[in-house]
Amino acid sequence: MRVSPADGVRQTADGWRLVFVPSLWGAAVGRFLGSLGCAGYLAAVLALFVLPAVGFIVGSAGVWQGIRVILALAALVAALFLTAMVVSDLRAVRRVDLRPRSLVLTRGWRQRELPLDTVSRIVVEERHKLGRQVGIAVVLSTGDGDIRCEADEHSPLGRSSAPRLTEWLAELLDPAEVPVTMEKVLVKAYVSVESWWTTAQVADFWDVPAEDVAGLADVWQVAHQTFLPRAAVYRSDMESFRRLVYRPDDVCEVADAIRGTRPVVDRD
């Protein structure tokens, strides 16, 4: 083949394999650690705000009882969070084997063969968040609906070049007459105003002079406002800390249009 495979693509005896989740066990360990973090955060919040009130009302005996209740709630939350995440991982497509006449999808340890003549098109999504690539998704359109296969930024395929993967897939599937296209998808972050971008940051991201940012923001309807950091509220020179900031999601949404490159698709 003229085009080299993208990262996360392996050659097999009868074709090629796209690996979206390299290891189920690795994903499970990550979910377990995440559930412990979620439970620990919940326990800390409850201990900080609930235990002092319990101790004031019923004394030290109630505090120890409250600790046991908090630990039980934290363990329950961790178990529910872990179960939900593991079930989600088992339902997700781990890998796709590309064979001459079919695609074989693996979910968990289950496989499903999908004849190529049932696939009407394939879309490779280059997923971006706050100006950086956070993964790749391959969407298979069939008569029964779309099948999403997602690789996040922690997997080799999720960090690979979407244009390169699209070109490779298009060449590979050309004999089967399955069209392959690419979309750049914006995943919104919904950050608080404290984390909105300054004029200098926006100018750097858009690759334009700083003095052009305000005018472009008005033309492209980028949300912005004057922001004063909390730490400066009680300072005598607080006005010197007041600055104009711009919502990063809006900045990223119109960046390609301003640079004259390909458009993006919004995804909440």
φ, ψ for residue 156, nearest 5 deg? -55, -40
For the segment 191-213, the average pLDDT, to the nearest whole number, is: 93
How confident is the model at residue 85, as a pLDDT? 66
Write down the mean pLDDT value for the chain: 83
Contact 162, 125 (CB under 8 A): yes
pLDDT digits (tens, 9 = 90+) for 48-84: 777 777 666 766 666 677 777 777 777 777 777 767 6
Q: Which comes out higher in pLDDT, residue 5 or 124?
A: 124
Q: Contact 137/150 with Cβ under 8 angstroms?
A: yes
How confident is residue 217, by pLDDT bands cut at 50, 70 and 90? very high
Select from 204, 205, 203, 196 the least CA-distant residue to 224: 196
What is the model's pLDDT at position 218? 93
Instruction: Answer for the pair 135, 127: CB distance below 8 angstroms, yes or no.
Output: yes
What is the β-pairing status of strands 224-227 and 145-152?
A: unpaired
First to last CA, the chain: 37
